[in-house]
Structure 1
Amino acid sequence: MEFERLQDLYNRCNPDEALSPGDDRNVDIDHRGVRGAHWTNKLARQIELSRTPVCQLFTGLRGTGKSTEIQRLAARLSDPKRRNLLTVLIDADDVLDLTVEIDISDVLALVLQQTERAVLVAEGGDAADALTDGPLGRLWAWLSRTDVEIGKITAGIDAGAKAGIAGARAGIELNLKTNPTLRRRVRDIVGTHLSTFVRFVHDELQELDWRARKLGRTGIVILFDSLEKLRGTSLTWKPVLESAERIFSTGAPYLQLPVHVLYTIPPALARRMVDVSFLPMIKVRDAEGRLHPEGVEVITELVKKRIDEVALDEIFGRAALRDRIRAIALWSGGYPREIVRLLQTVLELDRFPVDRETLERELRRAGNGYRSIVYDSGAIPWLAKVNRTKQLITNNEQEREAADHLLQNNVILRYLNDDEWVDLHPSVAGMQELAGPFPDATDATLEKGA
């Protein structure tokens, strides 16, 4: 294969890239019912039908397609032929430090900032004007009146900004993510005056909603993506997760807004909360371990959207292509990011077509990381019970911590049909220590002589 062709295919298989609705690599995963629902429709209908503001919580493991679903949702809700809402899409990766604890003040200040920017752009203005006399400027003025010392923290931060309040306003935008001193100060102020702060944000959002309606929209919807990536570091993951739990469970009433809003949340929180929509994996096996052909067919379609059939014949060999894709699908457990990541791994190999033994080797190598996580968890007896029962039941704090950690690291996968169930990633389900009822995916799916 020519180098430029190989390079193009390799980059079409970027596992970390969220696809926009118009991307030619998109697959309508839900048309065969392999995730238990049509997820864009499931998320949209409550907002479309309700005459009062809706607050939704949405989660799923990283790489299952949440961001793609949210972009589809944004396109649908903003469609003038449908709900015709002004859509505000916020990516937490861009505006928050996701390795540290989160606070209500972070979320609401960013909601206000990004909503004002979206309204200004819709009005034909400049989003940078959000730093002057609008809601964000009034927020900064309120913070400065409440704590006169806060201005000193941002002094000189933006050397290109005009001295005084304008520089401070620029400073708050630039540094809520990167300046921990400022972030702590804002949190302290809001924590002391929480009701006043929440009422201020609500009043400003109501005015922004009115401005959106003046433009012919029927209101505003805010989609706050990537908050599910809150995971801290190996040392801080627990307090970071606990901070998210505080604001999305006990603090959830403060996050209900006078406009429609959807927040993504860490998947571990879905176990201890109600009314959370959890995006499942593509079902390639049912809860009893039987093959689900429709799921394999959807994954085959996903693969062919990334790599055309001529190239696939060259990479895997025409006679073995069906079996190779089936092996990848079953090894992945229906996990979209793993499928795309494995395609990149295959494209890195030196020689095509890829034979059975080579693919087996790559699948074993890809599973090593998952097996290491299991050994490090110290929860093998409990995980063996999950493997047998397909239920995520915890009876003590140690098991709860293990469940959180293993969910966050994609060892435990979630599925939906009429009922929900969980399963272990196939690379660990066959471990002798877990005594699973089904054989390892590589042994079960790579047919001899294929």
Structure 2
Amino acid sequence: MDRELKRSFIASCKPDEPVGPQDPRHYDFDTPSLRLRGEPWRERLSAVIDFAAEPTAQLVTGLRGSGKTTELRQLERDLTERGYRVVMADAGQWLSNERPLTTEDLMLALVLALFPDGKPEDVGGWVDEYAKQAWRFLNSKVELQGGIAAVKASLTTDETLFQRVAKQLRDLDGLREDIHELLASAAKGSRDQGQELVIILDGAEKRATGDLDASARREEFHNHWFASFILQARDLKPPVHTIYTVPPFMVRRASELTANFGVELQFLPMVRLYERDGVLNLPGVEAMVEALHRRVAAKHFADPAIPRWLVSRCGGYFRDLLRFLTEMTYRVGEAPRFTREHAEQAVAHVQQNYLQALVLEDKQLLRQLHPSRKFPDDEASQVRMDSLLQGFKMFRYHNGGPWYDAHPLSWAELGFADDLPDWSRFEGTG
């Protein structure tokens, strides 16, 4: 296999790269003929906005790499085609990993999401007027250096400055009213031009989670997330349609979020490759294979069983499938096509990374989980859910209701090697 072909595979199979709905690599697992992730995620978000008589605020989550950004970009396109003005911003660029999240962080992120890049006068209309109002508001509360055009760039490139501004805002009285009034003005300006405004704050769930801290410190980070959307929910429900991405550990207190924030937490599940009873779901397998072939054509595999065997090991987590292909590309050498041996070596390599992180407590819980696909409801296990989801040791699926399973790469280690389909299961396919 020549160098340029390998380079094209590496470029096409970047595990951390979201793809938009216009990208030829994009594959929709939620078409009416498939429904491989249960009730379509983005359809529900869109319906809540479209049927509402007043502004809505919604919460979405899912494991990192499960396709949240891709789905939100699809939602952005769908809403735009229906006449909405959608602003999608990466809130992760403003939040810090060094301290717990605050409600003021997210409120300031909402303000910056609508603030234009560059010179506001180049945009014109309500955006220009909003930028002037936002500048006056921020500069009256917190003295900023530079002119109006430098506000967003400064707060984006200087994390310390963002934190300082958020902290100073936190000490002010009437902050919620001021920011809500500011956002209401933007919503009215957009509406007067014939477009209802929607803000999507993506990327926040990747920050301020305390993943690398000790358990007590990590729980502090988690509790700040819960406090923002449970205790201070009113602050994060501005008079404009808003969608927030939140960390997957928040599913642990989904009922409280529903009661206090007023909407259900929408969890983007994995693609369903296995039914809840463990039977292989062939439509799911074939859909994943087709999605893979949009990046690496079928002709580059020595036989059609190879991509299907790879899919059966990824658990519906497309990012792992891309990891398999990346590792195979490094191992293929001068061979003209990918072989079963390359596939086995690549899967073993990725599997080892998972097994190294699988501690005794995880194994005990997952051994109980895998046969039933039901997560234990005792308090100790619920706390453990955070690390299992965050560490991709456990996946969530929707098929007649939510259910969980251990990552297939751990099944053999847990004593369920026979549950994995072997090569013979996929021979004669394609």
Q: Under a length normalisation based on structure 2, what TM-score does the superposition of the two structures give?
A: 0.87
Matched, 1:63 2:65: yes
- Cα RMSD (Å) of the superposition? 2.9
* SS in structure 1 at match of 2:424: coil
2:21 match: 21
- Residues 336 and 198 of structure 1: is their aligned pair in 2 closer, same or farther, counting only changes over 3 Å? same
- When residues 175 and 212 of structure 1 are mapped into structure 2, their CA distance, relative to the original with a 3 A threshold, is closer
Q: Deviations over 1:202-239 (max 9, x none)?
A: 1111111111123221x210111112213334125443
Match of 1:439 in 2: 418
**Correspondence list, 1:14-163, <5 A:** 14-31=14-31, 32-79=34-81, 82=82, 84-98=83-97, 100-117=99-116, 124-125=123-124, 133-141=132-140, 143-144=141-142, 151=143, 161=146
Q: Counterparts in 2 of 1:364-375, with a 5 A limit? A: 364-375=348-359
User: Quick check: 1:278 aligned with 2:267?
Assistant: yes
Alpha-carbon spacing, 1:449–1:272, altered in 2? closer, same or farther (3 Å) = closer
Name the residue aligned to 1:147.
none
What whole-Å deviation, never above 9, does each CA across 1:68-119 have from its counterpart, x for those lacking one? 110011111122xx2x121111112322234542111111112112224289
Once the two structures are TM-superposed, the CA of residue 175 in structure 1 deviates from its matched residue by 4.1
Residues paired across the two proteins, number: 411
Residues 131 and 170, structure 1, Cα contact 8 Å, conserved in 2? no
Q: Distance in 2 between matches of 1:51 and 1:66?
A: 26
Identity %: 25
Task: Tell me the SS of whatever aligns to 2:269.
Answer: coil
2:230 paired with 1:249: yes
Task: Note closer, same or farther for the CA distance 1:99–1:225 as it changes in structure 2 (3 Å cut).
Answer: farther
Q: Distance in 2 between matches of 1:388 and 1:177?
A: 48
**1:381 pairs with 2:381:** no
My pick for the range that moved more, 120-129 or 221-230, is: 120-129
Provide the rounded CA distance (Å) in 2 between the counterparts of 1:384 and 1:449. 27
What amino acid does structure 2 have at the position aligned with 1:271? R
- Decide whether the 8 Å contact of 1:386 with 1:423 is kept in 2: yes
1:236-385 to 2 correspondences below 5 Å: 237-274=218-255, 275-309=264-298, 313=299, 315-317=300-302, 320-321=303-304, 323-349=305-331, 350=333, 351-375=335-359, 378-385=361-368
Change over 3 Å in CA distance of 1:198–1:172 after alignment to 2:
same
The answer as to whether partners of 1:112 and 1:201 remain within 8 angstroms in 2 is yes
Distance 1:118 1:418, change over 3 A: farther
* Contact persistence 1:331–1:426 (CA under 8 A): yes
User: Residues 308-328 of structure 1, C-alpha deviation per residue, up to 9 Å, x if partnerless?
Assistant: 23xxx2x321xx22x111111
Quote the offset at 1:435 in angstroms: 3.9
Paired with 2:156 and 2:224, the residues of 1 have a C-alpha distance of 17
> 1:395 deviation in Å?
2.0
Identify the residue that residue 187 of structure 2 maps to in structure 1: 209
| Matched position secondary structure for 1:223 | strand
| Pair 1:30–1:119, CA change in 2 (3 A) | farther
CA shift at 1:339, angstroms? 1.2
Residue 261 of structure 2 corresponds to which residue in structure 1?
none
Tell me the equivalent position of 1:4: 4
Alpha-carbon separation, structure 2, partners of 1:352 and 1:301: 21
Report what 1:225 is aligned to.
Answer: 202
Distance in 1 separating the partners of 2:292 and 2:28: 13
In the alignment, residue 274 of structure 2 is paired with which amino acid? R
Cα displacement (A) at 1:244? 1.5
Is residue 197 from structure 1 mapped to residue 175 from structure 2 by the alignment?
A: yes
Distance in 2 (CA, whole Å) between partners of 1:340 and 1:234 is 25
Q: Relative to 1, partners in 2 of residues 1:258 and 1:131: Cα closer, same or farther, differing over 3 Å? A: closer
- Given that 2:107 and 2:179 are in contact with CA atoms closer than 8 Å, whether structure 1 keeps it comes out as yes
Q: Give the direction of change, closer, same or farther, for the CA distance of 1:135–1:363 in structure 2 (3 Å limit).
A: same
CA distance in 2, matches of 1:6, 1:254: 50
Q: Could you say what secondary structure the match of 1:28 adopts? A: coil
Match for 1:212: what amino acid? S
Does the C-alpha gap of structure 1 residues 362 and 186 become closer, same or farther in structure 2, counting only changes over 3 Å? same
1:418 to 400, 403, 406: 400
Structure 1: gaps spanning 5 or more residues: 145-150
Instruction: Report the CA distance between 1:12 and its aligned residue.
Output: 1.0
1:244 is matched by which residue type in structure 2? W
Contact kept, 8 Å, 2:308 with 2:426, in 1: the verdict is no
Contact 2:108 2:166 in 1 (8 A): no
